[in-house]
Amino acid sequence: VSLATELAAIVGAEHVEADVWLTDASGLGASAPLLVHPASAEEVRRTVAWAYERGVAIVPVGGRSGYSGGIVPEGRDPLVAVALDRLNRVRSFDPLLWRIEVEAGVTTATVQRLARENGLLFPPDPGAPEQSQIGGNLATNAGGPHAFKYGVASHWVTGIEAVIAPGELARFGGPTRKDVAGYDLRGLLIGSEGTLGIITSAWLRLMPAPATAIPVIAGYPTIAAGVQAIEQALASNVVPAAIEYLQGDVLQHAPPPFLDASEIRFLVICEAESEAERDALLDALGPGARTYDATAVWRWRGGVSLVVRGVKGEKLAEDIAVPLDRLGEAIERTLEIGARNSLDACSWGHAGDGNIHSTFMFDPDDASDRARADAAAEDLFALARDLGGTVSGEHGVGKLKRGQLIGQWSEAAVGAHEAIKHALDPEGLFNPGTKDPRPVTAALVGDGSSTGIAS
Ligand SMILES: Cc1cc2nc3c(=O)[nH]c(=O)nc-3n(C[C@H](O)[C@H](O)[C@H](O)COP(=O)(O)OP(=O)(O)OC[C@H]3O[C@@H](n4cnc5c(N)ncnc54)[C@H](O)[C@@H]3O)c2cc1C
């Protein structure tokens, strides 16, 4: 009996696919020998139990919007990719208690919309909400502009249901808002990028929606002046809902439709949630600051990444984060790294969190261009470590940034990281090649025509 036939007995023959190309927003891709679409947590459990019994590697697949190649199959054959798209039910919704329980395949936009229609807010706002799933948001512990005030995805989760090795359905927390009875295994699964288990549902916290959202925006002639304005905003005694920046080259590639940015070398966007906050932020950002329509600002901001990708056909967009006092240096040195590697570079990001999307644009059909982009990324990771920061503030490590933690964390800390992986996934079957703290050399599965996975 073939593996596909055995899986068909669990999820139904029409929900088993063979040789499926899996790719995400990073541009990396490879073929999965088998992809299944279970309909329930119980079918996920039976799939994992089946895989664990036979030594089959398991790759969880969410909305495929990740930026680090986390869903790209690699390194093991046999392998089964497990898509969560059919786990798309809202299990319970209690608007008056500010809480909702959803299955992993529910999209981010669905939760945001349900909250909004009930006067509530689900603050995590990673930039591809119609595509990304709650399971993927939690597996990457996603952030977004409003993480500055409201925190990343994990802040909004009181419980997780997940399938762990060797095929058990377990609950970590639930609807209870406080729970310190055990180790924080809920927190451990969040951000684990599918390497410790498969999240099947989550209990999420919501909050009353702020009465208003007012972007306060100002442009500056230099990076230094813009970074100084950010520090003034932080000193203003207001907690802006977001503090974003865009370095001048981004504004040339993706000009904002609501202001003339032709002379601007650095743009700061803060968001106020009351008139008093607006006035304080207008004051902090200086005489050029103005308010704009929130919908227009965030619609444009949400499209920046894709426009920049189109400039040369592809981009390597990283998500390093640095301590706030090193922000200006990280932005300047991103441009230097681009110049040193003969690549057009630019950056934008979540300034308040010191989280910058350093971006190198390249032609995907030009092998030397791509090699220089990979070299630039290595320089960038070294820079993040030099500045006391991290190689990933929000996209996760996936395949792109694996092997980089060893320089960032001490040997003892990396050892603890590996001990946890071994304890929860003793056979190493969950998402092999993803989030590896040390450099590994792994063979691709599939037809080997993957785009640019460095070993
Ligand atoms: C235009 C754009 C803007 C973005 N902006 C932001 C941003 O502002 N902030 C930010 O943090 N991110 C951002 N992202 C990337 C972000 O990580 C994803 O959008 C999102 O969180 C990933 O969700 P997904 O469902 O698409 O996951 P996928 O890409 O499908 O998977 C991501 C990882 O999670 C694992 N995974 C997925 N589902 C599960 C599950 N149920 N259980 C266990 N593991 C699972 C996968 O194996 C993989 O390792 C952006 C992406 C795009 C395309």
Q: Is 199 in the pocket of ligand 1 (CB under 6 A)?
A: yes
φ, ψ (nearest 5 deg) of residue 127: -75, 5
Atom index in ligand 1 nearest the CA of residue 434 equals 49
Structure confidence at residue 441 (pLDDT): 56
Structure confidence at residue 443 (pLDDT): 42
Residue with tokens 């308040």: 352
Atom index in ligand 1 nearest the CA of residue 152 equals 11
Averaged pLDDT for residues 301-324:
95
Structure confidence at residue 310 (pLDDT): 94
Instruction: For residue 43, give both structure tokens.
Output: 């079918």
Q: Is 24 in the pocket of ligand 1 (CB under 6 A)?
A: yes
Q: Is 104 in the pocket of ligand 1 (CB under 6 A)?
A: yes
Atom index in ligand 1 nearest the CA of residue 135 equals 41
Question: What average pLDDT is seen over the chain?
Answer: 95
Structure confidence at residue 77 (pLDDT): 81
- CA-CA distance, 187 to 275, in Å (whole number)? 36
Percent of the chain residues past pLDDT 70, beyond the cut: 97
Distance 259 CA to ligand 1 centre (A): 31
- CA-CA distance, 44 to 33, in Å (whole number)? 18
Distance 67 CA to ligand 1 centre (A): 7
Q: Which of 24, 67, 301 to mutate to test the pocket of ligand 1 (most atoms within 8 A of CB)?
A: 67
Distance 63 CA to ligand 1 centre (A): 7
Q: Is 432 in the pocket of ligand 1 (CB under 6 A)?
A: no
Greatest alpha-carbon pair distance for the chain in Å reads 73
Structure confidence at residue 382 (pLDDT): 96
Q: Which of 140, 156, 198, 434 to mutate to test the pocket of ligand 1 (most atoms within 8 A of CB)?
A: 140
Averaged pLDDT for residues 73-82:
90
- CA-CA distance, 163 to 84, in Å (whole number)? 12
Count CB-CB contacts under 10 A for residue 406.
Answer: 16
Q: Is 431 in the pocket of ligand 1 (CB under 6 A)?
A: yes
pLDDT at 446 over 50: no
CA-proximal residue: ligand 1, atom 45 (nearest): 194
- For strands 79-83 and 90-94, give the pairing: unpaired
Averaged pLDDT for residues 423-438:
96
Atom index in ligand 1 nearest the CA of residue 395 equals 17
Atom index in ligand 1 nearest the CA of residue 105 equals 41
Sheet containing 29-36: give its strands across. 16-23, 29-36, 79-83, 57-61
The DSSP code for 148 is H
Give the model confidence (pLDDT) of 29-75 as tens digits: 999 999 999 999 999 999 999 999 999 999 999 999 999 999 999 97
Q: How many residues does the chain have?
A: 455
Give the model confidence (pLDDT) of 152-189 as tens digits: 999 999 999 999 999 999 999 999 999 999 999 999 99
Q: Is 256 in the pocket of ligand 1 (CB under 6 A)?
A: no
Q: Is 128 in the pocket of ligand 1 (CB under 6 A)?
A: yes
pLDDT at 140 over 90: yes
Whole-angstrom CA distances from 385 to 147, 280, 321 are 22, 34, 10
Q: Is 160 in the pocket of ligand 1 (CB under 6 A)?
A: no
- CA atoms within a 13 Å half-sphere pointing along the CA-CB vector of 230: 27
Let me know: does 64 contact 81? Beta carbons within 8 Å.
no
Q: Is 62 in the pocket of ligand 1 (CB under 6 A)?
A: yes
Atom index in ligand 1 nearest the CA of residue 200 equals 41
**Residues whose CB is less than 8 angstroms from the CB of residue 14 and which lie 6 or more positions away in sequence, other chains included:** none
pLDDT at 76 over 80: no
Percent of the chain residues past pLDDT 90, beyond the cut: 95
Structure confidence at residue 451 (pLDDT): 37
Distance 193 CA to ligand 1 centre (A): 9
CA-proximal residue: ligand 1, atom 36 (nearest): 136
Averaged pLDDT for residues 213-238:
97
Let me know: does 362 contact 315? Beta carbons within 8 Å.
yes
pLDDT at 450 over 60: no
Instruction: For residue 90, give both structure tokens.
Output: 């809202």
Q: Is 137 in the pocket of ligand 1 (CB under 6 A)?
A: yes
φ, ψ (nearest 5 deg) of residue 242: -150, 145
Instruction: For residue 276, give both structure tokens.
Output: 């008093």
